[in-house]
Amino acid sequence: MNLRIEGLVKQYDGRRVLDGFSAEFPEGKTTAILAPSGAGKTTLLRILCGLEKPDAGAIRGMEGRRLSVVFQEDRLLPDSDAVSNIRLAAPAYEEKECRQLLSALRIPEWEQRGKPVREFSGGMRRRTAIARALAVPADFYLFDEPFRGLDGETKSCVIACVREKTRGKTVLLVTHDEREAAEMGAVREIDIAAGQAAQMPQ
């Protein structure tokens, strides 16, 4: 079942952040949401996560289905290590699986257990947040600028891993970077600012 958003309105202090936004996200595919800063991308994700209530409009196709998120901020427990952070959100995920996932995201083995994530570099914390989201068994994955702060070969490697792990799942990818959307295999691009959906060139 596709995820459908119909006439979503959200305003803060009289300023409309989302103004009748409508879109359809195909099931099992990746959709990229592109827009300049302040266009309401994060607000849209917060509404989809259930963290904000829209002033008007409807969301269909999410009822009873589980979602997983990479927030714009890492939102990790600073005193816990990478494996513990993953298992907090995904307790069924075995330690061995956590380690494999972290290794796939290029976090060295000796950094995975025992080292609090506050001692990690920004990029490693970001990759831990991505690992946590991927470990959660979900129907929807919401990624809010997940690859921010990653560069070069690491970024390509992480994107490949994320793409592999979310194959067949509905993914909403918020990004500024069209190349990231293409590397993630996004089938559609949605420009919130324009309020229109456009087909990605295959």
Tokens of 143: 């990624």
x/- mask, other proteins, residues 79-98, rule CB under 8 A, reads xxx-xx--xxxxx-------
CB closer to other proteins out of 16 and 118: 118
Report yes or no: 184 and 163 within 8 Å, Cβ to Cβ: yes
The window from 43-51, 153-161, 163-171, 178-186 that contacts other proteins (CB under 8 A) reads 43-51
Residues 51, 118, 89, 168: what is their CA dihedral angle, to the nearest 10 degrees?
A: 80
Report yes or no: 189 and 32 within 8 Å, Cβ to Cβ: yes
113 interacts with other proteins by CB under 8 A: yes
Largest interatomic CA distance in the chain: 50
122 interacts with other proteins by CB under 8 A: no
Residue 64: what are its φ and ψ, rounded to 5°?
A: 70, 10
Q: Pick one of 55, 73, 94, 164: the residue that binds other proteins (CB under 8 A).
A: 73
| Listed residue (202, 104, 113, 198) closest to 154, CA to CA | 104
Residue 138: what are its φ and ψ, rounded to 5°?
A: -130, 160
The window from 65-73, 97-105, 146-154, 192-200 that contacts other proteins (CB under 8 A) reads 65-73
99 interacts with other proteins by CB under 8 A: no
Shortest separation between residue 93's beta carbon and other proteins, angstroms = 12
Shortest separation between residue 146's beta carbon and other proteins, angstroms = 15
- Which residues of this chain interact with other proteins, rule CB under 8 A? 49-51, 66-69, 71, 73, 75, 77-81, 83-84, 87-91, 113-114, 116, 118, 132, 136
